[in-house]
């Protein structure tokens, strides 16, 4: 007998902001979980297990916070798992939860990811000095900027591509009520005039630091049949990892990302991702990662990704919309960012994405990455269940 099909029947997010001073960590996660349950029209008693994820515990200063969050998430008396796979964790958490359903261990699972970055300072949380190890150079931007420069040199992309991505994502965010940044007066000129932080990455081309949580209810075929709204069906999902640094590593287009995408496409029967996939939510914390991931994920040939961005293909009304929600560039509660990508992909194929809905989206990809471009998690969701 094959795997049980997995359906997303509930999605909930908080309104992502710089600091949620009105709620505790428990209050934050409960808000997202409650909204996901409401969306699925389920109660806490309907949940068989809870799978929670977040990025490093230093970001809130709580070691293994799932222990303290068991009560707030209705997990008492139930199994509770805590996933941590760096920046990809939001995606990985959803996949671990999906496996519980696919393996028929549980029927209905609550999965949730969060970060409450206002509790500390993420940049320095990432920059603890460790003897004999290469420092991360004051936050993630310092680590990734050289990889962006390598991409620009390799592809010959014009300097302006990064600003086009940021301008698009920040405008998309205006259509998403949950997005953190709502810059109503955004212009391309403002993006291009913003201060240079880590050359070539400008201030407006970086992600914000957010407080937020995202939750999903995953269930089996029977659960999906009872769902009040159309489910999103998981058609493929995979994780891949490679070491941080090694001779021969391609930091611009990591092999682990290519392998992960290939595995997902194989499971979902995707022959040509550019043609077969209607919308993509990918993890773009720095603007230039849009063209880089377009190539890594097989939507464009090597060195050609920036042309899709430049010609407007990735705009909300383009041929291959990317980051319709505004993406990580507009909202970044780090541990939750991957799950938001997965959830936004599911919203699209459920037809529930509101103002940032892509007309007729039937198949959408959710993508997350983390560490030194070394951890990848992806899923492909569809409006129709997988072939039995």
Partner 1 sequence: MNREIAVVAFAQTEHRRTSEELSEVEMLMPVLHEVLARTGLKTADIGFTCSGSSDYLAGRAFSFTLALDGVGAWPPISESHVEMDGAWALYEAWTKLLTGDADTALVYSYGKSSPGPLRDVLTRQLDPYYVAPLWPDSVALAALQAQALIDAGDTDEPALAAVAARSRADATANSHAQLRGSVPRGEYVVRPLRTGDCPPIGDGAAAVVLAAGERARELCERPAWIRGIDHRIEAHGLGVRDLTDSPSTRLAAEKAGAFQRPVDTVELHAPFTSQEVVLRKALKLDDSVRVNPSGGALAANPVMAAGLIRIGEAAARIHRGESDRALAHATSGPCLQQNLVAVLEGDPR
Chain residues binding partner 1 by CB under 8 A are 1-3, 24-25, 55-71, 75-86, 92, 95-96, 99-100, 102-105, 125-126, 128, 130, 133, 238-244, 246, 254-256, 259-260, 263, 371-372, 374-375
Spatial separation of the C-alpha atoms in residues 373 and 98, rounded to whole Å: 24
Instruction: Give least dist CB 118 to partner 1, A.
Output: 13
Nearer to partner 1, 92 or 176 (CB): 92
Instruction: Give least dist CB 337 to partner 1, A.
Output: 15
Instruction: Give least dist CB 117 to partner 1, A.
Output: 13
74 token code pair:
């209705």
Instruction: Give least dist CB 123 to partner 1, A.
Output: 11
Residues near 23 by Cβ (< 8 Å), separated by ≥ 6?
Answer: 31
Question: What Å distances lie between residue 197 and 140, 171, 372, CA to CA?
Answer: 11, 22, 19
CB of 207 within 8 A of CB of 328? yes
Is the Cα dihedral 140, 252, 168, 264 positive or negative?
A: negative
Instruction: Give least dist CB 182 to partner 1, A.
Output: 30
Residue 103 CB neighbour total at 10 angstroms: 10
Question: What Å distances lie between residue 132 and 72, 129, 135, 279, 373, CA to CA?
Answer: 41, 9, 9, 43, 21
Nearer to partner 1, 10 or 236 (CB): 236
The per-residue b/e assignment along 135-157, b for 16 or more CB within 10 angstroms, e otherwise, is: ebeebbbbbbbebbbebbeebeb
Instruction: Give least dist CB 126 to partner 1, A.
Output: 6
Nearer to partner 1, 244 or 352 (CB): 244
- Measured at the CA of 200, the angle between CA 341 and CA 331, to 5 degrees, comes to 25
Nearer to partner 1, 142 or 351 (CB): 142
Nearer to partner 1, 86 or 308 (CB): 86
CB of 291 within 8 A of CB of 161? yes
Instruction: Give least dist CB 349 to partner 1, A.
Output: 22
Instruction: Give least dist CB 216 to partner 1, A.
Output: 17
CB of 378 within 8 A of CB of 366? yes
CB of 284 within 8 A of CB of 206? no
Nearer to partner 1, 7 or 179 (CB): 7
Nearer to partner 1, 64 or 193 (CB): 64
Is the Cα dihedral 334, 339, 344, 345 positive or negative?
A: positive
Instruction: Give least dist CB 244 to partner 1, A.
Output: 6
CB of 324 within 8 A of CB of 348? yes
Spatial separation of the C-alpha atoms in residues 220 and 205, rounded to whole Å: 40
Read off φ and ψ for residue 123, nearest 5 degrees: -60, -45
Please name which of 95, 105, 378, 112 lies closest in space to residue 220, comparing C-alpha atoms: 105
346 token code pair:
């599911």
Spatial separation of the C-alpha atoms in residues 316 and 366, rounded to whole Å: 16
Instruction: Give least dist CB 259 to partner 1, A.
Output: 5
Nearer to partner 1, 192 or 244 (CB): 244
Nearer to partner 1, 105 or 196 (CB): 105
Nearer to partner 1, 261 or 347 (CB): 261
Question: What Å distances lie between residue 181 and 46, 115, 185, CA to CA?
Answer: 34, 16, 11
């Amino acid at each position: 007998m094959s795997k049980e099909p997995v359906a997303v029947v509930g999605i909930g997010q908080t309104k992502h902001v710089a600091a949620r001073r009105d709620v505790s960590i428990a209050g934050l996660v409960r808000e997202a979980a409650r909204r996901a349950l409401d969306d699925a029209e389920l109660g806490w008693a309907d949940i068989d297990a809870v799978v929670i994820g977040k990025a490093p515990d230093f970001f809130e200063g709580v070691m293994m916070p799932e222990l303290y969050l068991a009560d707030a998430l209705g997990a008492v008396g139930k199994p509770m798992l805590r996933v941590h796979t760096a920046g990809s964790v939001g995606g990985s958490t959803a996949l671990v939860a999906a496996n519980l359903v696919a393996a028929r261990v549980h029927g209905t699972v609550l999965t949730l990811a969060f970060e409450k970055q206002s509790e500390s300072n993420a940049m320095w949380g990432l920059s603890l000095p460790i003897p004999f190890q290469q420092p991360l150079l004051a936050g993630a931007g310092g680590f990734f900027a050289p990889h962006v420069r390598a991409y620009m040199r390799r592809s010959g992309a014009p300097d302006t591509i990064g600003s086009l991505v940021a301008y698009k994502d920040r405008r998309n965010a205006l259509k998403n009520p949950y997005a953190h940044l709502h810059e109503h007066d955004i212009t391309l000129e403002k993006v291009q005039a913003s201060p240079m932080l880590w050359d070539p990455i400008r201030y407006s081309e970086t992600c914000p630091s957010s407080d937020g949580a995202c939750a999903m209810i995953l269930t089996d075929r029977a659960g999906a049949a009872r769902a009040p709204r159309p489910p999103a069906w998981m058609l493929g999902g995979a994780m891949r990892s490679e070491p941080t640094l090694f001779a021969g590593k391609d930091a611009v287009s990591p092999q682990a990302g290519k392998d992960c995408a290939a595995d997902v496409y194989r499971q979902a029967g995707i022959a040509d991702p550019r043609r077969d996939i209607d919308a993509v939510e990918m993890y773009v914390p720095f603007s230039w990662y849009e063209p880089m991931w377009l190539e890594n994920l097989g939507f464009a040939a090597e060195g050609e990704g920036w042309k899709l961005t430049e010609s407007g293909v990735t705009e909300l009304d383009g041929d291959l919309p990317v980051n319709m929600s505004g993406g990580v560039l507009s909202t970044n509660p780090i541990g939750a960012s991957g799950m938001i990508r997965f959830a936004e992909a599911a919203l699209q194929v459920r037809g529930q994405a509101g103002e940032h809905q892509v007309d007729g989206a039937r198949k959408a990809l959710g993508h997350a990455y983390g560490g030194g471009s070394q951890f990848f998690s992806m899923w492909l969701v569809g409006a129709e269940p997988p072939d039995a």
